[in-house]
């Protein structure tokens, strides 16, 4: 259970730092969009990453251990489905700001994917 809490704390710091950088860029470039959809995007990405931390914990404990590669493929597939669902929600729920919100969400998703890949490879693979 400690690893889930540690992973979630790392993700909280990551998303807080990323959101502060994003907001700082927004202050410097006011043409950039930073609305409720962006805050909601950070929340959804955090929830998806927390789901991944739980998945890695449950996959490594118990009688049937699952290999890292299989866990990572399951996690990224679930994360992709969740991101598609969120993108559809933004498209339907916020039609006035759909283009800037979705472009920024895709960029945030790619940054998150790169961070979580490095983080999970460094912390979850046992030599």
Residue 25 pLDDT > 70: yes
CB 120 within 8 A of CB 56: yes
**Are residues 105 and 41 in contact, defined by beta-carbon separation less than 8 angstroms?**
yes
pTM of the model: 0.86
pLDDT computed for residue 127 by the predictor = 42
Of the listed ranges 21-30, 38-47, 57-66, the least confidently predicted one is 57-66
Distance from C-alpha of 120 to C-alpha of 127, rounded to nearest angstrom = 13
**pLDDT higher for 111 or 34?**
111
C-alpha–C-alpha distance, residues 27 and 80, integer Å = 30
Q: What is the pLDDT of residue 68?
A: 85
Percent of the chain topping pLDDT 70: 96
How many CB atoms lie under 10 A from the CB of residue 35? Answer: 14
DSSP per-residue letters across 68-114: HHHHHHHHHHHHHHHHHHHHHHHHHH-GGGHHHHHHHHHHHHHHHHH
Residues 53-101: tens digit of each pLDDT: 888 888 877 667 788 888 899 999 999 999 999 999 999 988 888 888 8
DSSP state of 35: S
């Amino acid at each position: 259970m400690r690893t889930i809490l540690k992973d979630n704390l790392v993700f909280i710091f990551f998303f807080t730092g990323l959101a502060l950088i994003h907001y700082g860029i927004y202050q410097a470039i006011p043409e950039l969009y930073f609305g409720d959809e962006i805050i909601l995007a950070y929340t959804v990405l955090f929830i998806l990453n927390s789901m991944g931390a739980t998945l890695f914990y449950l996959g490594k404990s118990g009688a049937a251990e699952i290999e890292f590669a299989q866990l990572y493929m399951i996690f990224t597939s679930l994360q992709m489905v969740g991101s598609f669902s969120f993108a559809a929600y933004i498209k339907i729920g916020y039609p006035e700001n759909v283009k800037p919100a979705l472009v920024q969400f895709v960029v945030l998703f790619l940054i998150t994917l790169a961070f979580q890949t490095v983080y999970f490879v460094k912390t979850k693979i046992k030599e």
